[in-house]
Structures are given as structure tokens and as C-alpha cells.
């Protein structure tokens, strides 16, 4: 694992303080360090590192597949830590010890897409209830191969994963910093293009 000297020193300090860094976080930080000198956009590097870190945390080897697929799509080369974890994932597959499936990751990705869709509507004035209904309709259209999500379920996810986690405020700050003139109009058009939420997808939302 080729983490920078500074990162490794931070790990040692955390260990001495009785708050050791998890192996998944170490892998994430090491790959972030390794990709600092690679001509890859930072957001891609962070996503790739996060996927490998998720493999380390969950033992689902399909996260490694996703990381390498993304890296290949942008013409990048794997780092030392990525190659080590790829070998570990292949070994787990060969001996039948991995945990999780590709569908698990597809579901997770689809949920986050719906939550970010909601966030963009909420930031632009929609209530969480209104945004959740639009997101439920969006989800069913965008991911017909996955089990549909009810608006009440997405509203609960949004409250926990986006609002209470502080992600919503981060998104607001990012939007204010990078705002483009047509964004609000474009998002209104996107919202208008999504059909009304079918009654069977409303669920038990409080609205």
C-alpha cells in the first residue's frame, strides 16, 4: 500500500490515540495519495478510491470491478494499491468467499441517483414530499430492471442520508459556488418531464 508518508504518520498517530483507522479507510486514502500525480480528474479519483474502499469494507468484489470499469473508461492506469486489492478480490471469488452481488451495487447506485435527483429539486424550492414523489417516478422509469421504490421510502432515505448527514448543506454550498445561469430552468424542465407519481408508489409518506 503506497500511502504518502504524511498519511502513514496520521495513521500512526490515530493508532496511538486509540482511534485506529479502518482498513477500508486506509485503502481509500492510499489510492487518493497514489492518484495525486496521475492525470485523472479529482472527482474520478475520489470515486475510484471510494469503490475500492467499499470492497474492503463489504467484501463485495463487484466494487473492484466498478472501480476498474471507471478507470478504463477515462483511460487511466491502476495504482499499486488497486492492483493489490484486485488480486484480493479475484482470490475471494476463486475460493468462493466474497460477499454481495453486482445487484447490491446497482441498487445502491440507483438509490443515490434518486436521492441526488431529490436534492436538486429540494434545493430549488420543492418540499421533500414533492421531491420524493417525483423521485419515485424517476426511479421506476430510469431503473425498470430494479424493484421500484415508494416515495415514502425515498423520503425516509433522504432525511437520513442527505439532510441529517449534512450532505444537503454541502450540495447547497456547491451549487451556490458553481451556479450556472440555466441550471434552475433546466431542472424545472427535467422535473416537468417526469410523470406524476403513480398512486401505488406513494406509500405511507406524511403528506
Tens-digit pLDDT profile for the chain (207 aa)? 577 788 888 888 888 888 888 888 899 889 989 988 777 777 788 889 989 999 999 899 999 999 999 899 889 999 999 999 999 999 998 888 777 788 888 888 889 889 989 998 998 899 999 999 999 999 999 999 999 999 999 999 999 988 988 888 877 887 777 677 788 888 889 999 999 999 999 987 554
Spatial separation of the C-alpha atoms in residues 53 and 159, rounded to whole Å: 25
Return the half-sphere exposure (C-beta side, CA atoms, 13 A cut-off) of residue 148: 20
Handedness of CA 189, 194, 195, 198 (dihedral sign): negative
Neighbours of 64 (CB within 10 A): 24
Which pLDDT belongs to residue 105?
Answer: 86
Which pLDDT belongs to residue 1?
Answer: 59
Where exactly are the structural domains of the chain?
A: 5-94, 102-201
- 2: helix, strand or coil: coil
* 95 Cβ neighbours under 8 A, 6+ residues apart: none
Evaluate if pTM is beyond 0.75: no
In order of 27, 63, 82, 93, 200, the CA distances from 122 in angstroms are 34, 30, 37, 42, 23
Residue with cell 497514489: 34
Q: Closest Cα to residue 55, out of 46, 64, 66? A: 64
Spatial separation of the C-alpha atoms in residues 190 and 207, rounded to whole Å: 23
Which pLDDT belongs to residue 207?
Answer: 42
Amino acid at each position: 500500500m503506497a500511502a504518502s508518508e504524511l498519511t502513514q504518520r496520521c495513521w500512526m498517530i490515530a493508532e496511538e490515540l486509540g482511534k485506529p483507522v479502518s482498513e477500508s479507510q486506509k485503502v481509500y486514502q492510499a489510492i487518493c495519495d497514489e492518484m495525486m500525480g496521475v492525470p485523472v480528474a479529482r472527482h474520478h479519483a475520489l470515486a475510484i478510491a471510494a469503490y475500492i474502499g467499499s470492497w474492503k469494507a463489504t467484501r463485495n468484489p463487484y466494487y473492484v470491478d466498478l472501480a476498474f470499469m471507471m478507470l478504463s473508461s477515462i483511460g487511466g492506469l491502476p495504482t499499486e494499491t488497486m492492483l493489490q486489492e484486485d488480486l484480493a478480490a479475484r482470490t475471494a471469488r476463486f475460493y468462493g468467499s466474497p460477499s454481495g452481488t453486482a445487484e447490491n451495487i446497482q441498487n445502491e447506485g440507483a438509490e443515490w441517483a434518486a436521492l441526488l435527483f431529490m436534492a436538486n429539486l429540494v434545493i430549488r424550492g420543492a418540499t421533500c414530499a414533492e421531491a420524493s414523489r417525483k423521485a419515485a417516478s424517476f426511479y421506476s422509469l430510469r431503473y425498470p430492471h430494479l424493484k421500484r421504490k415508494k416515495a415514502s421510502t425515498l423520503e425516509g432515505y433522504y432525511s437520513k442520508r442527505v439532510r441529517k448527514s449534512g450532505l444537503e448543506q454541502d450540495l447547497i454550498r456547491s451549487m451556490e459556488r458553481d451556479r450556472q445561469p440555466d441550471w434552475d430552468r433546466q431542472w424545472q424542465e427535467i422535473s416537468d418531464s417526469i410523470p406524476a407519481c403513480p398512486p401505488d408508489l406513494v406509500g405511507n409518506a406524511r403528506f
